[in-house]
Amino acid sequence: MTIQIAPSLMSADFTRLADEIATVESVADLLHLDVMDGHFVPNMTIGPAVIKACRKVSKLPFDCHLMIEHPQDYIGAFLDAGADMISIHIEAEPHLQRALQMIRDGGAKAGIAINPATPAESLSTAIEFCDYVLVMTVNPGFGGQKFIEPVVPKIRQIHRMVVERGLKVAIEVDGGIDATTAPAVVSAGATVLVAGSAVFGQKDRRRAIEMIRNAVVSVKA
Ligand code: DX5
Ligand code: ZN
């Protein structure tokens, strides 16, 4: 199973985004973009305008993680901005299937993001309508937080659901992922690893990404 590394731009230097993106352009698999509204999470970051600007300087697939209320109202804006993947939080969207369909109709991959305290069972129906599940391994809102280890069995549970139903749904993990924590999530079934401080918080980004890749190279789910 190929593991994809998605550096989170949230830990980059916001005064020089184009240069920062260039440091991961040839080594990362995806670029993870964290959108926060100050309501769903107690922080604010970037929106469609900044993502649209970044789109001009990168060929990486853009993985947009919406940590916002009423995500359905903004799907069009993120599709226009150049998102290749859009995840919305299950806790924020009462009409999940409709929202996921809007993302797919717009030509992007549709993801369901799930907070650490939200049980795997809540995905039971919606998982049939998504391309990936983004499992949060910290409470969303900030970079550099400590990995919440008790989420690992939930990753395994979601992985089992995917395998048993024969679905084509990838599992992405986000929060506190580095070379130390990555093996546990990969052995539980994750194949897409978001890393903010473990990549953009480091001087040598190429080496930082390689360290994570090397840590999981022989790990099997
Ligand atoms: C947190 C964001 C993450 C964040 C991860 O709410 O969704 O993508 O940037 O940062 P690290 O890898 O430092 O935990
Ligand atoms: Zn994120």
Q: Please name which of 67, 27, 22 lies closest in space to residue 47, comparing C-alpha atoms.
A: 67
Q: Token digits for 105? A: 């109709």
| CA count, 13 A, side-chain hemisphere, 205 | 24
State in Å: Cα 147 to ligand 2 middle: 13
Distance CA 73, CA 57 (A): 27
Residue to probe by mutation, ligand 1, list 30, 36, 197, 209, most atoms within 8 Å of CB: 197
State in Å: Cα 195 to ligand 2 middle: 9
For residue 66, the tally of other CB atoms under 10 A from its CB is: 29
Q: What is the pTM of this model?
A: 0.98
Which residues line the pocket of ligand 1, CB cutoff 6 A?
Answer: 8, 10-11, 32, 34, 65, 138, 140-145, 174-177, 194-198
Q: Tens-of-pLDDT digits for all 221 residues of the chain?
A: 799 999 999 999 999 999 999 999 999 999 999 999 999 999 999 999 999 999 999 999 999 999 999 999 999 999 999 999 999 999 999 999 999 999 999 999 999 999 999 999 999 999 999 999 999 999 999 999 999 999 999 999 999 999 999 999 999 999 999 999 999 999 999 999 999 999 999 999 999 999 999 999 999 99
Residue to probe by mutation, ligand 1, list 5, 11, 35, most atoms within 8 Å of CB: 11
Alpha carbon of 89 to those of 1, 55, 108: distances in Å?
26, 23, 16
Q: Please name which of 75, 187, 65 lies closest in space to residue 133, comparing C-alpha atoms.
A: 65
Positions annotated as catalytic residues are 34, 174
